[in-house]
A and B are shown apart, each in its own frame.
Chain A
Amino acid sequence: MTLTRRAAIAIGLGAPLVLLTRPALASPETMNAAIAEFTDGRSVQEGRITLDIPVLVENGNSVPMTVEVDSPMTPEDHVTEIAVFNERNPLPDVVRFRPSPALGLARFQTRIRLGDTQKITAIARLSDGTLWSAAMTVIVTAPACIES
């Protein structure tokens, strides 16, 4: 069966989304401000970093995310910091990784919360000072039959 959105709301769908997004919502502007602070006004190029998040997630409370930078991770050429930002959670910062070249591979996996369907942006700073970015939109669905 497929219930209409109204019927689904009657059964309790949708409620969990409200939880995370109720307080002073971050906005594309607050995300852009956080990004500007991170990049210190320098230009950001697209590429070298990849963001892997399932496009459609079953519950915004736990969304698997992998971020990887194409880097040899040598003392001469490595990633110094990766920052991940979101558009619509109450705070724009998701996570930051500061690796040393000793890691050998700049790939990080974690699980994040997304209060709503939104755009995620990842930016890597390399040892030569250049900045690289990737972005994607994630659609968050909600489970049914939640406790009220």
Chain B
Amino acid sequence: MKRGGVAALAVLLTGPAQADERRSGFDYMGPETQLMQTDDMANPGMLAVQAGMRLWQETAGDAERSCESCHGDAEKSMRGVAARYPAYDATAQSAVDVAGRVNLCRTRHQGAEPLPQEDADLLALVSLIGLQSRGLPVMPDPDPQMSQWRSRGADLFDRRMGQLNLSCAQCHDDNAGGHLGSAPIPQAHPTGYPIYRLEWQEMGSLQRRLRGCLSGVRSDPWPYGSDAYVAIEAYLMQRAAGMPMETPAVRP
């Protein structure tokens, strides 16, 4: 976009609609899409949960162990886990999100290959784990190592990027509640992931959602698995601390 275009956009971005309260993307949806999320029989995310439950019990890798053989009943052992992620893993010396954790279990404990990002089986397991936090408040990992990840995420959130030269914050802090075309701009809370997005017609991770926003501002999305996503995820979860988890959410 040329300079003039950017200036015009900047003018258009100065709307009122300053959000004074934290609201989930759920609140910006129409009643039909809300009902699709809240009725478990209508929510396609529950199909992913069902697949995840099956995978939880299946053995994988050289160790021929299932998730269940170590963790038992997911409803008990995974309760509240997703509400605390991304979390710090001392061995990897890195923050990992739930998908990253599942892949660590595959490589460390099952002797299996990691599953690719956005793989349906990976999304299914992460959805199953996420459901066990539904309704529980986001409770960021207290490990002190996490603070540098969150501040890096906060930096990225405030940094202008792409040809449109917009930061995440300009849309999601300054203009949340406003509209982009006909779509309402939500506050970018990560409480529902993985989500069933009507636009995708399938499940997708928070990383996939962020890639959509990055290409939206005409910036090349970082490669899947990049630390930058985990940093933003960690920042978004802190920003949403105390809000209830909704996995598997539905979004337009």
| B199→A59 contact, CB < 8 A | yes
Interface residues on B, range: 35 or more
Task: Please judge, given known A-B contacts A1-B13, A2-B12, A4-B12, whether A12 and B215 are in contact too, CB under 8 Å.
Answer: yes
* A49, chain B: closest CB distance, angstroms: 21
| B182→A141 contact, CB < 8 A | yes
Query: For residue B215, which residues in chain A have a CB less than 8 angstroms away from its CB?
Result: 12, 145, 147-148
Partner of A64 from B8, B29, B36, B179 at Cβ < 8 Å: B36
| A2→B179 contact, CB < 8 A | yes
**A residues 8-41 with Cβ under 8 Å of B?**
8, 10-14, 16
**A residues 95-148 with Cβ under 8 Å of B?**
141-148
A54 to B198, CA, bound (A): 16
For residue B194, CB closer than 8 A to chain A, the reply is no
Binary CB contact string for chain B from 1 to 18 against chain A (1 if under 8 A, 0 otherwise): 100010011001111010
Query: For residue A61, which residues in chain B have a CB less than 8 angstroms away from its CB?
Result: 198-199, 201
For residue B144, CB closer than 8 A to chain A, the reply is no
A/B pair count, beta carbons within 8 Å: 96
Partner of B29 from A56, A58, A146 at Cβ < 8 Å: A58
* A118, chain B: closest CB distance, angstroms: 17
Identify the interface centre among B8, B9, B178, B211: most chain A CB within 10 Å of its CB: B9
A13 to B183, CA, bound (A): 9
Count, chain A residues at interface, CB 8 A: 29
Closest to A5 in B: B181
Closest to A148 in B: B215
Identify the interface centre among B9, B30, B36, B183: most chain A CB within 10 Å of its CB: B183
Partner of B179 from A1, A10, A58, A145 at Cβ < 8 Å: A1
* B44, chain A: closest CB distance, angstroms: 9
| A3→B12 contact, CB < 8 A | yes
| A7→B252 contact, CB < 8 A | no
**B residues 9-46 with Cβ under 8 Å of A?**
9, 12-15, 17, 29-30, 32-33, 35-36
Task: Please judge, given known A-B contacts A59-B252, A148-B215, whether A11 and B15 are in contact too, CB under 8 Å.
Answer: no
* B183, chain A: closest CB distance, angstroms: 4
| A3→B179 contact, CB < 8 A | yes
Task: Please judge, given known A-B contacts A58-B33, A58-B198, A144-B216, whether A1 and B12 are in contact too, CB under 8 Å.
Answer: yes
Query: For residue B175, which residues in chain A have a CB less than 8 angstroms away from its CB?
Result: 1
For residue A74, CB closer than 8 A to chain B, the reply is no
Binding site for B on A (CB under 8 A): 1-5, 7-8, 10-14, 16, 54, 56-59, 61-62, 64, 141-148
Binding site for A on B (CB under 8 A): 1, 5, 8-9, 12-15, 17, 29-30, 32-33, 35-36, 164, 175, 178-183, 185, 198-199, 201, 208, 211-213, 215-217, 252
